[in-house]
Amino acid sequence: MKIIESGIKDVNAHETVKVIMPSNLYGCELAEDVFVGPFVEIQKNVKIGARTKIQSHSFICEQVTVGQDCFIGHGVMFINDKFSTGKPAGGDSSKWKSTSIGNNVSIGSNATILPVSICDNVVIGAGAVVTKDIADPGIYAGNPAKKIREI
């Protein structure tokens, strides 16, 4: 058995970033005043914008960009593999898709974000499943997530 400790490795982080351990961050970029709660994993090639808060137990997979002044609630899961061949892509990153989150986006606890683009000034309700791009600011909820009202 081989045990690999979680931790922080090869992270480009501003000196004002706060990370609560245990967390697992590697190969990512964190801008100024980012907060990362405990039990969070942020994988390589992820970029997190200034003043964004990421709460505990969230998972941000490769190829995700999060804008400035965002809030990622507890237990939010980002997905980069759409199982396009009917099974997991495994290590074949050429089959993975990217996700782009704009500025001033709040994502409620236990939401799931598939590979999509979300514009600025959006609220995603707790437990929502975002399966399609969001190009219109507002509040979205449900499975699949739909716009329920303006902000």
**Residue 126 CB-density burial (10 A; 0-12 exposed, 13-18 middle, 19+ buried):** middle
Length reported for the chain = 151
In the chain, the largest separation of any two C-alpha atoms, in whole Å, equals 52
Under 8 Å between Cβ of 63 and 98:
yes
C-alpha 44/C-alpha 108 separation (Å) is: 23
C-alpha 75/C-alpha 29 separation (Å) is: 20
The active-site residue out of 57, 95, 97, 147 is 57
Active site annotation includes 57: yes
Catalytic site positions: 57
